[in-house]
Amino acid sequence: MKVIVFHLSEDQLGLELFVRQISPNRALQEIPDLALQQSVIDKPSNRLPYLISQAVTDKYRGRYNESFDFYPSYSGYQDELLWSAAWLYKASRDVKYLNYVVSNQGWSEAPSEFSWDGKFPGAQALQAQEFYGGNKGLSKYKTDVESFICALMIPGTGSSTFKVEVTAGGLLFLRESSNLQYVSSSCMVLSVYSKTLMASGIDGIQCGSDNFSASQIKSFMKSQVDYILGNNPMEMSYMVGYGSKYPTQLHHRGSSFPSIHSHPSKVECNNGWSSYFDSNNPNPNQYVRAIVGGPNLNDGFNDLRSDYSHTEPTTYMNAAFVGAVAGLLDETKGETATAAE
């Protein structure tokens, strides 16, 4: 029998999750918690047990950037613990994870973003599903995530510390730097929540004097997706390779350098700056389907490699965008099936 162990390790770029397979005897040496040790040995040999380091992470609480100052976490660690416990409960239905999110829901707060740093909306949206499924002890998560959704649905409202602006062209605007990361992640929350409301038979959510149905929330989310893909004042798709007009000078090293097939000789680091970073030419390698930081508050966009706040692509923009679009595809398939019937 082999044991799969999940590890969190620190390097200069942050926390890295990696997996190793080890023998039970080695597991006894490496796992300090006796309860975890016993759970490994007691598993039947025909099953592959999974050890998840949530217990260790919860015991030694702290921000990862206390060890180094790079991409510091401003939101703290409570949101990650709640989010991981919420997912573990959804995946395993083990009541200990449910008890964890119930007993620690005091950590939950009305969020101002869903991002690589702030995970509260993710945890809250998952627990709102459980609330509508009958667990009324999770009402704070529902209240907090709906506060976030209301701020998105009615830009200019919200709390004294969190108000969402909207551009003249209709784009949600949370921050000047890489704004589309916040738009795409917000779209994913809106997509998931509209589906939750529909599945639960809920009419909608109340935002002050306004009520928004699930279909209205999904329609608004779709308008943001359409803006990103080209329905905007610039008539610019902010996804590279999609449509006829899109960014060509991405702030991305691999995209900015020529292919080894066209430039087989070595490119020194300093030459990269002078020959490629400062070039006015389009990137020689097209980073197809990458989403960049996007336009400014005035719906303007300068396609300049040096303007990393607006031309840099990131995984957390694309990942959330895929989640939002998947909801739209699911809806389209449903409509197609209904028409066929």
How does DSSP assign 203-259, residue by residue? -EEEETTEEEEHHHHHHHHHHHHHHHTT-STT---SBTTSSS----S-S-HHHHSPP
303 is known as an active-site residue: yes
DSSP state, residue 160: S
Residues 6+ apart with CB under 8 A from 184: 228, 291, 317, 318, 320, 321, 324
CA 22 to centroid of chain Cα atoms: 31
42 is known as an active-site residue: no
* Identified catalytic residue from 80, 113, 144, 251: 251
What are the tokens at 275? Answer: 């020959």
* Identified catalytic residue from 58, 303, 307, 331: 303
Residue 157 burial (CB count, 10 A): 15
Task: Give the number of C-alpha atoms closer than 13 A to the C-alpha of residue 299, restricted to the C-beta side.
Answer: 16
3-class secondary-structure state, position 311? helix
Tally of helices (H runs) and strands (E runs) in the chain:
13, 7
* Identified catalytic residue from 79, 144, 299, 312: 312
Q: Which residue in the block uniquely carries the two structure tokens 């400062």? A: 278
Q: What residues are annotated to the active site? A: 251, 303, 312
